[in-house]
Structure 1
Amino acid sequence: METTEAERHAAAVVDRLWRAYAPYQRGRNTFGDLQSMLAILVLAEFVESAGAPEDEFVKRWSRAVAEAQGRISPLVDLCAAMRSAGSHPAFPVSDVEKLDITFLDAGATSDDVPWLVAFLTALTQRPGLAEAGLAAVGEMLLERHVQEGAFSAGEFYTPREVVRLLVESVSPRPGDRILDPACGTGGFLAAVAQHIAEAGRVNGAVFEAHATDRSNPRLAMLNLAIHGVDRPVVDSSDAVSLFQRRGAGRADRVLSNPPFNQRIEDSHLVDWPFGQPPETSANYAWLQLAWARLSESGLAAMVMPPGAAWSGGREAEIRKRMIDSGTLLSLVALPPNLFAPHTAIPVHVWILARDKARHLPVGSANDVLFIDASSLGTQVPRHPRVLTAEDVERVTGRLHTWLDSPRTTPDETGFSRSVTHGEILGNGGSLDPRLYVDVERKQPATAPGPGPDLMLDALDRYDEATSESSADLRRSFAVCQRLAHGGIATRRVPLANLVSGAAEDVFGESAPGQLVAGPSGSLVRAGDYVDAGVPVVMPKDLTGSGFSVTDIRHITDQHAARLARFRLNLGDVVLARRGELGRCAVVREGQRGWVCGTGCFVLRPPAQLNADYFAAYLRSPEAREWLEAHSTGSMTMKTISLTVLGELPVVLPDLGTQQAIANAMNRLDEHEELLRGQLALTREMRGNALKSILSDS
């Protein structure tokens, strides 16, 4: 069977499973759903491949499927099938009870897994797992959960194309020991298993996986089992404790996408090879851990935020020592929006070697390859950017060609360049690819623009996207109206009462939040700002869709560490305290660790207040009018105090309704962006149309 045909089958199966599951997301806690689905896939494959008619798990599985097809809850028989299969010595997961599968819970009822009937029915239709392949279906289902916003891991979910780029960059071989110290859902190790299987053998490889989010190990084990890793074991850990495990073996390949800019505790307890990383960011803890765990001929591929390439202070000193010691083989800059919807920021891939001399010809161990792939990939409206197979091949092909002969591999303008350690250290140890890769010359201004056919094709794609977006909007607002008119009382609660937890009469006892004003002018003076460092958010940096970095200002890492109280966390809401009142933005992964500036407030929402709903409410005419009516200052520069802000009456529906409203408003923002893009393209076509038509005549 051709690979393309198998992929089409897998896509059809996943689409069918998703449509069966999707209606049961709203109004319930979906945590654990994906884990249960992957467990069912593992069980279904095991029944098909290893089961005999007389096996208890085959009988109970068949009964469960028949019950689902008859619209009867299959919960009892499905649980029995899973436990029976789990006791079989060939079952790919060693202890199913430790997987914390929702439907195996002793107290679970059909209400806890209402999608089960539809899911099992869809799974048994054709094409099925046999035609599609278990690994492909599991991978695509995980990806669908991420794209649809139904699942979020503590570590980033890494897109398949980025995973493939890292795997092919370090080329793991049969028999290699493979480590991912922050494995998330196990995507890297799953891809390595597939890569090694293509070379003929998987069993010789040893897989070691750890997760920083305690909810991920079980999901990662299932994902690895789906990809042919026999009885995988994944535990929870962190960079410091992993470094302290002196008995851990060396790894031939390390691949990971650890959490960006994560705070690190007890780093002083470790004898770091290149220096103690700052407590405010674990980036250089992960990099040093990866290098330290490598065997003598080992390679590591690590996904890092761009700031790690040029950060100052203690990190800059660590970076210089790493460069001077010859740990860095290559740095690849990837484009933005690959990790949407979780973050839009671009990322870098660091390729490290324990001993560069083992991977480069004699006399080349002081060279580093920079690849600027930031312009690669394709993106359609409302979807993440995607690297194509050709993009991946271009990057990895250039890397492997350079490894064979750095001195004879020519630089490629606008894409790659080989640089010596001396040049890097001469730039203060900065690894910003823009310093080393020459910018590709742009086409002359007189070059013709795209022809009418191409622009009309683009307009057609916009029409399809806006039509789909309109349908999504209609569904989202229908949900909002149904919830808002479902008899649930809506209250107006002062913001200060919500933050402090004094609004218990609304939702009962809940964890309090926090509302603080940005640092005073004496804590951040005009002379404290630097060219690069930790961004400081001012009112001008807040936009209707997030944060603008066009003119954002920075302070040093050391200064930011002294302002820990004002550092931004994921899910915080930053509000303008002056100027255009109601301006605000929700902190995403890309802004974690930034600093709230003097002209802003930062709200850490309590458990019963959805951050995106609150931001939407702040931007509403009702909230803006209230803020303006209670502000002081001139007509051109209005100001609101922290005390007055605390009196803001917040319209507070239940949490489920808040989430539905937030989703609808986000859909509306996306729809507006589509329309703006369509209008801009139409205007561009108007400007180019006559010239294009006449030039063809």
Structure 2
Amino acid sequence: MGSTETKSASADVVDRLWRAYAPFQRGRKTFGDLTSMTTILLLAGFVESVGEPEDEFVKRWARATAEAQIGISPLVDLRAALRSASRHQLFPVPDIDRLDVEFLDGSEGADDVPWAAAFLAALTQGPALAKASLAEVYELLLERHVQEGAFLAGEFYTPRDVVRLLVETAAPRPGDRILDPACGTGGLLAVAAERIAEHGRLDGASFEAHATDRSNPRLAMMNLAIHGVDQPVVSASDPVSLFQHRGTGLVDLVLSNPPFNQRITAHHTVDWPFGQPPESSANFAWLQLAWSRLSEEGFAVMIMPPGAAWSGGREALIRRRMIASGALLAVIALPANLFAPHTAIPVHIWVLARDKSRHLPVGDTESVLFIDASRLGKQVPRQPCTLTTEDIDRISTRFHAWRLSPSATPDEPGFSRSVSHAEIDENDGSLDPRRYVHFDPEQQPAAPDLDLMLDALDRHDGATSSSSRAVQGSLSVCERLTRSGVELPRVSLGLLVKGTRADLFEGSEPGLLFAGPSGSLIRAEDYVDVGIPVVMPKDLTNNDINTASIKYVAERQANDLERFRLHLGDVVLARRGELGRCAVVREEQQGWLCGTGCFVLRPPAELNADYFAAYLRSTEARQWLDAHSTGSMTMKTISLNALSELPVALPDLGVQQAVADAMRQLDEHERRLQEQLALTQQIRRDSLMGLLRS
């Protein structure tokens, strides 16, 4: 979901947005506010990622943000910016006017969205947004609305940790078709899209979403768009009508948290595969709908109330038929209070398969996995229980290992057990994991070894001490080399590149400064799964190129763009967004392409590439770049002509090398300190039980 730094920046942005919005809650109908906020976030992301300075929506966005900064209503320009952006071929939401977004309706003037100026001013304030993830900002903002009681919906809000567990259990892949028949705000499909994007291209996957609360489709559409789903469509529906109109085809995965114990009507008009559910509860209508939509290879991961595992009457009969037909793969019991404040009851996850024999080895199809994770989770007083990353990994890893070979996967006492259909039948078809997974209170996890922890801390302490001495030595060298007291010359980057300052250095050789290809040379449809990496501004972090979400083009197209190939020692600079971001091209990155939104500097002989990268990240350089940029606070842009005027502090090459070495030592020292801090935090979490048991 992103780095710790990105999450921290996103939390800072949301805190700022909420402080701006909160004073406008009282005395108003606030239900549509979240959709309007999400639309503004979507527009902000589109302006930054796609917009060019000459685009009308970029100009209107810049005017709107400027108006908001001085307290003038930005709604007229916001509306114009959104409508202009929606006409762009890459805008992710079709028919924006049909979504009934509040701030698009100007009939009541500026008072219909009184918080807009404060919200937009807070959004574009400070540098934090450039480091934040808009998807993370949306998720945290939705969470804040739920916590503060400002957002209510017929479908429960699914906490992010539970969403991640369902998605990790389903493990969606590029090309999968995924359905959520009760999508709420679209959180499950959004995280599924995010996971697919981490493992391949998102374009091949398709998403089908329906909402039982008719006020949710527009919010879900915006959420999916923010998470990279192109042209999402969400409709309002219910399990009976969805079952009756299944002409949209089969799906590979169903992910859903449908409303619990919802009453249904007209259920008698449907030919249910395992039996007609009772009118008083749609739980087994949702389960049968999910199963009926699956392809032969498909499976479903659904949240259910615990009562569905042992209820009697008509539901017990349906449950037995599902088990006998091999429709059930697993049932996972989760802790209580995960869904607070909506409900404190624990929930179960049901994993269904259309054809169980396609998911389990021959001879193992007559078994069901039960996981009792009810004792997992982190509970803080007066707060919802949360599943940790370790909890999610433990549950999903156990399920996937069992799928590969149930008979070869040993039961884990107190946590998981593989149970035969015969044993389930002996227990009257009950699917309560507690009935099959026996907890032994005397069996506790082994206490952490304090000696090993302290030894590791000693090793880290020695490494950081050595790193600290190296930093001190490098900085001392720099100080000795620059002790002359003579003011360093400031030379414009353009003159350096042209090699016209031979008075400063002997044997001056020119360099090269150029912009990456325009959007017409590399289009969205040109990107492929495997090929030549294309470096974009988002890939530039801490003097390095992050390949986590890097895009590729085919070798043939890269050959046509030969002039944009990167050479060893080039410096790649961001031309928009957070100015000053840059990276030096290393040996393994030779031959990659400079992408749209970047500049490339091929340094002249008198300029050390690592020194220049360090200088670009300095306060002096960043302030100059910000002062000479255009665009909004969230999408600052520097032109090639302006960049050529950047005054570069230029010591001799010996000093440049010393400064570059010192910055490298500082980066390494920072990394070691972060590792030591993480270890210290782990010792703080784990050592108490070791002390009590020693």
What's the TM-score once normalised by structure 1's chain length? 0.63
Residue identity in the other structure for 1:341 = P
Give the corresponding residue for 1:186.
Answer: 186
User: How far does residue 112 in structure 1 lie from its aligned partner after superposition?
Assistant: 2.1
Of all paired residues, the percent bearing the same amino acid is 71
- Does structure 2 conserve the Cα–Cα contact (< 8 Å) formed by 1:103 and 1:109? no
Distance 1:61 1:411 in 2: 58
Give the corresponding residue for 1:421.
Answer: 421
Give the corresponding residue for 1:266.
Answer: 266
Give the corresponding residue for 1:138.
Answer: 138
Deviations 1:285-322 (A, max 9, x none): 00000001000010100000000000000000000000
Please state whether the residue corresponding to 2:278 is helix, strand or coil: coil
Deviations 1:435-465 (A, max 9, x none): 1011222479xx9x9xxxxxxxxxxxxxxxx
User: How far does residue 696 in structure 1 lie from its aligned partner after superposition?
Assistant: 11
Give the corresponding residue for 2:318.
Answer: 318
When residues 27 and 326 of structure 1 are mapped into structure 2, their CA distance, relative to the original with a 3 A threshold, is same
Give the corresponding residue for 1:279.
Answer: 279
Give the corresponding residue for 1:499.
Answer: none
User: How far does residue 85 in structure 1 lie from its aligned partner after superposition?
Assistant: 1.2
Give the corresponding residue for 2:399.
Answer: 399
Residue identity in the other structure for 1:178 = I
Distance 1:695 1:434 in 2: 29
Please state whether the residue corresponding to 1:155 is helix, strand or coil: coil
Deviations 1:46-70 (A, max 9, x none): 1112112222211111111111111
Give the corresponding residue for 2:249.
Answer: 249
When residues 128 and 231 of structure 1 are mapped into structure 2, their CA distance, relative to the original with a 3 A threshold, is farther
Please state whether the residue corresponding to 1:179 is helix, strand or coil: strand
Give the corresponding residue for 1:99.
Answer: 99
Give the corresponding residue for 2:289.
Answer: 289
- Does structure 1 conserve the Cα–Cα contact (< 8 Å) formed by 2:193 and 2:227? yes
Please state whether the residue corresponding to 2:110 is helix, strand or coil: coil
Residue identity in the other structure for 1:435 = R
Ranges in structure 2 where 5+ consecutive residues have no aligned partner? 448-688
Residue identity in the other structure for 1:118 = A
Distance 1:100 1:115 in 2: 18
- Does structure 2 conserve the Cα–Cα contact (< 8 Å) formed by 1:257 and 1:303? yes
- Does structure 2 conserve the Cα–Cα contact (< 8 Å) formed by 1:102 and 1:108? no
Give the corresponding residue for 2:537.
Answer: none
Matches within 5 A, 1:40-119: 40-119=40-119
Distance 2:443 2:177 in 1: 48
When residues 2 and 371 of structure 1 are mapped into structure 2, their CA distance, relative to the original with a 3 A threshold, is closer
Give the corresponding residue for 1:565.
Answer: none
Deviations 1:239-296 (A, max 9, x none): 0111111322100000000000000110111110000000000000000000010000
Q: Are residues 1:239 and 2:239 paired?
A: yes
Deviations 1:374-413 (A, max 9, x none): 1111121221111000000010011111111111211111
Distance 2:692 2:106 in 1: 74
Distance 1:395 1:181 in 2: 24
Distance 1:380 1:426 in 2: 39
- Does structure 1 conserve the Cα–Cα contact (< 8 Å) formed by 2:170 and 2:300? yes
Deviations 1:637-678 (A, max 9, x none): xxxxxxxxxxxxxxxxxxxxxxxxxxxxxxxxxxxxxxxxxx
Matches within 5 A, 1:562-577: none
Residue identity in the other structure for 1:257 = N
Distance 1:239 1:103 in 2: 33
- Does structure 2 conserve the Cα–Cα contact (< 8 Å) formed by 1:181 and 1:256? yes
Count of equivalent residues:
453
Distance 2:34 2:294 in 1: 33
Give the corresponding residue for 1:382.
Answer: 382
Higher-Rg member (1/2): 2
Deviations 1:541-594 (A, max 9, x none): xxxxxxxxxxxxxxxxxxxxxxxxxxxxxxxxxxxxxxxxxxxxxxxxxxxxxx
When residues 210 and 695 of structure 1 are mapped into structure 2, their CA distance, relative to the original with a 3 A threshold, is closer
Q: CA RMSD in A?
A: 2.3
- Does structure 2 conserve the Cα–Cα contact (< 8 Å) formed by 1:13 and 1:127? no
Higher mean C-alpha deviation, range 5-14 or range 301-310? 5-14
Residue identity in the other structure for 2:104 = L
Distance 1:696 1:356 in 2: 45
Please state whether the residue corresponding to 2:64 is helix, strand or coil: helix
Give the corresponding residue for 1:358.
Answer: 358
When residues 93 and 2 of structure 1 are mapped into structure 2, their CA distance, relative to the original with a 3 A threshold, is closer
Deviations 1:520-548 (A, max 9, x none): xxxxxxxxxxxxxxxxxxxxxxxxxxxxx
Distance 2:233 2:277 in 1: 29
- Higher relative contact order at CA 8 Å, sep ≥6: structure 1 or structure 2? 2
Distance 1:80 1:404 in 2: 54
When residues 206 and 443 of structure 1 are mapped into structure 2, their CA distance, relative to the original with a 3 A threshold, is closer
Residue identity in the other structure for 1:263 = R
Give the corresponding residue for 2:6.
Answer: 6
Please state whether the residue corresponding to 1:262 is helix, strand or coil: coil
User: How far does residue 110 in structure 1 lie from its aligned partner after superposition?
Assistant: 2.6
Give the corresponding residue for 1:477.
Answer: none
Give the corresponding residue for 1:496.
Answer: none
Distance 1:391 1:212 in 2: 30
User: How far does residue 113 in structure 1 lie from its aligned partner after superposition?
Assistant: 1.4
- Does structure 2 conserve the Cα–Cα contact (< 8 Å) formed by 1:331 and 1:371? yes
Distance 2:353 2:436 in 1: 21
User: How far does residue 118 in structure 1 lie from its aligned partner after superposition?
Assistant: 1.1
- Does structure 2 conserve the Cα–Cα contact (< 8 Å) formed by 1:298 and 1:354? yes
When residues 28 and 2 of structure 1 are mapped into structure 2, their CA distance, relative to the original with a 3 A threshold, is closer
Distance 1:61 1:248 in 2: 38
User: How far does residue 41 in structure 1 lie from its aligned partner after superposition?
Assistant: 0.5
Give the corresponding residue for 2:22.
Answer: 22
Give the corresponding residue for 1:540.
Answer: none
Deviations 1:305-344 (A, max 9, x none): 0000000000000000000001110000001111111111
Distance 1:402 1:15 in 2: 42
Distance 2:265 2:217 in 1: 21
Residue identity in the other structure for 2:176 = D
Residue identity in the other structure for 1:288 = Q
Please state whether the residue corresponding to 1:195 is helix, strand or coil: helix
Deviations 1:70-120 (A, max 9, x none): 111111111111111112221111111112111111323332212111111
Distance 1:291 1:98 in 2: 32
Residue identity in the other structure for 1:313 = G
User: How far does residue 235 in structure 1 lie from its aligned partner after superposition?
Assistant: 0.3
Distance 1:176 1:24 in 2: 42
Residue identity in the other structure for 2:153 = A
Distance 1:695 1:235 in 2: 56
Ranges in structure 1 where 5+ consecutive residues have no aligned partner? 450-691
Please state whether the residue corresponding to 1:188 is helix, strand or coil: helix
User: How far does residue 695 in structure 1 lie from its aligned partner after superposition?
Assistant: 9.5
